[in-house]
Structure 1
Amino acid sequence: MEEFLKYLKSLDSNRQMRMLFMLEAGIYLSDNCDYYTDFGTYPDYQNLGFDKQVRTSFYKQYSKFLFSIPDDMFNKPDEKAKSDWEILKESLLEELNLNREIFEYQYQSFLIGLRLKTMRMCSKKEFSTRSNLSLSKINQIEDYCFLAKVNDIFMYVKNGLGQEFKLDFLRKV
């Protein structure tokens, strides 16, 4: 845990959040087939195996941390595991000096990126041509949706996925 915390502290706050988002998604979305939480592999299960990200230090630390958690918290996300994660998350947020409200808000945006990633059923290179977005913009949307511009998400959905994009703001009276 100390090694993982040391690694997290070496990251900028966006990558710290991304790591915690991935852990949170692993707990809460593990049984939800609408979300693709197997971080680092292609969503269309091509024979390409793992993409380059899996070999980075970031993903190595993520995997190493998952396997170091006692009581199999991330492999059996039952109510006890969720409770244990909430306690662990609270201590990590405090240790990293990250605001819980901001974490929760940005996590919801992260879920949008995950959902979009599941809908992209081709390689990023092919999708880049179709959507007219650069590979870095596609990565930003899928991995850090909370940092993406609305126009880029629009192009991802409209051009890349060929679906309607609509923002709907409800007013409370």
Structure 2
Amino acid sequence: MNTPHWTTGKKIVHLDFKGAPPRMSYLQKLIPLIAHLGADGLLLEYEDMFPYEGELKVLQATDHPPYSPEEIKMIQDVAKSSGLEVIPLVQTFGHLEFVLKHRAFWELREVGFCLGTLNPHQEQSVKLLLDMVRQVLELHPDIKCLHIGADEVLHFCSIITDKGLLIVN
């Protein structure tokens, strides 16, 4: 099989581990294949599969065990040996259903009935995010960058008109 020749930019493959997370034995085969197909890196979105500790332990999946710290290291080792950069993704504004569904974090929702969006104006929201990021960084000591999501920030206080995007402050 020939490796595809891409013209420009980095090729990053997004692995989203929520829902039906792959077993380590599968990842040990998949990651080298991704490298062989021409990727430069992996964007790893753990969500409830991350082994959060302390107050954040409640975020861990309950229907199957989260990855252990040793498994997180193994993923990174396989990626490194395959020549792939690892970029963890920690969502910071939206896509936080796995956090905001827990009663302990309900008051941090932007809108009470919407469990996907965090209210960035609350001090506890910042504390929560900093703790999540800290724990992810501790288990990824060799990374060059961290993806913080935030694709939905475009919609904060903005209105799209026929004349373009209007920002309302």
* Structure number with larger C-alpha Rg: 2
| Structures share fold, TM-score greater than 0.5 | no
More helix by share: 1
